[in-house]
Amino acid sequence: VHPFSKKMAIEGFLQQEFNEFLLLRDRKLAGASLRTRIMDFVSEDDSLTNFSSNLGLGLMYEHEVYDVLDEEGLTITLNLIRISSYLTLDWNISSRVNWWAVGYYQPNVEYFKNFRAVVETGLEIWVIGRLYFTIDFSYRYNNRPIGDVKHYDLVVKNGLRYSVP
């Protein structure tokens, strides 16, 4: 992320992923987007309590290989350019509790009816020292899944996070 001002930044990202449940053997993606801060509130009563929100818009290139064969018996491989749009929310409820959420909408630039939407949210609670308890939810909808896969999936994770100085 490279900020241009307090409200604007440009960001680049790379990702590699696999997911047995989605029959996704390998996904590699690269992209860039412009981010703007749309809200930045700090409580007058407690400077640790704040709420911020960002809106991002950009493009990403995806290369996906699935564990699914097409009609000719070849592995399905997709190369797509998608719009990468997102909205983030981050609320420091107190010095011990933080809630965050991000929503993505990613249509294929050549066929807007082929899209993916993802909503992720989580809560982080300070336990002691640098130790935090986390609980995260992720809902993903793909209107054109590959193979015999549902259009949506829900992931719930909880764990511990240790912050290294």
Q: What does the DSSP assignment read for 25-76?
A: EEEEEEEEEEEEEEEEEE-SS-TT-EEEEEEEEEEEEEEEEEEEE-TTSPEE
What's the Cα-to-Cα distance from 102 to each of 46, 53, 121, 161, rounded to whole Å? 25, 9, 6, 19
* Count of positions (residues) in the chain: 165
Q: Per residue in 109-125, pLDDT tens? A: 999 999 999 999 999 99
What pLDDT is attached to residue 86? Answer: 98
- The percentage of the chain sitting over the pLDDT mark of 70, rounded to a whole number, equals 98
Confidence bin at 145 (pLDDT 50/70/90) = very high
What pLDDT is attached to residue 41? Answer: 87
Rounded to whole angstroms, how far apart are CA atoms 132 and 128?
Answer: 7
Rounded mean pLDDT of 84-90? 97
Cα 65 to chain centroid, rounded: 20
